[in-house]
A and B are shown apart, each in its own frame.
Chain A
């Protein structure tokens, strides 16, 4: 495991910590898209089906359990917690799950490495992760006052994807015969979705302004 992969995973973990901090400590999920969080829960549920059958390392297994547990915890908080659920911007978070889930599943049936249930679901999770941030980005654009924790959460998620790109470059040059086209192309698409957000995040940060996205 190279440094970029480790930093990518840690950034991903940190993004979850930031989100849980907002939800658990401040008891608010304002500006957070439940649609995106539900899609992430589905991503992890379909990707980590191999958790007990396919052992890579203790590190991988522990991280899988953390991402599964936290993603479902976040969804539970936003849907059912007495205080937190009242801060959810339901009227603004209008993106339809099926508009992302159905095309991703169709694509997973068409383009995959092996036609087995586990492999198709794994591929589906890769495609779905690439676009799962979409409802969140739409919600950010509709939010007038984006708070720091929400802005930092999305920034950390984007940074995690960027670091994974660097990890793949390192692996390509250091591991013989290493290639994973499905993951690479999805990862590039996923990172590209953050480009616009990054531009405004850095611009506002440099000008010492509060983060706002043009609508």
Chain B
């Protein structure tokens, strides 16, 4: 699995 988003949550 590849996560697509940069870490933009806290």
Binding site for B on A (CB under 8 A): 5, 9, 12, 50, 54, 56, 60, 63-64, 67, 113, 122, 164, 167, 177-183
Contact = CB atoms under 8 A, between A and B. Distances in A.
B1 A181 contact: yes
Nearest to A119: B7
23 contacts: A5-B9, A9-B10, A12-B10, A50-B7, A54-B6, A56-B6, A56-B7, A56-B8, A60-B8, A63-B10, A113-B2, A167-B9, A178-B5, A179-B4, A179-B5, A180-B3, A180-B4, A181-B1, A181-B3, A182-B1, A182-B3, A183-B3, A183-B9
A180 B3 CA distance: 5
A67 B9 CA distance: 13
Contacts of A63: 10
A63 B5 CA distance: 19
Given A64-B10, A67-B10, 4 more contacts: A50-B7, A56-B7, A60-B10, A179-B3
Contacts of B1: 181-182
B7 A122 contact: yes
B10 A180 contact: no
Nearest to B10: A63
Contacts of A122: 7
Contacts of B3: 113, 179-183
A12 B4 CA distance: 25
A9 B9 CA distance: 9
Which of B2, B4, B5, B10 has the most A CB atoms < 10 Å from its CB?
B10
A210 to B, nearest CB: 33
A178 B7 contact: no
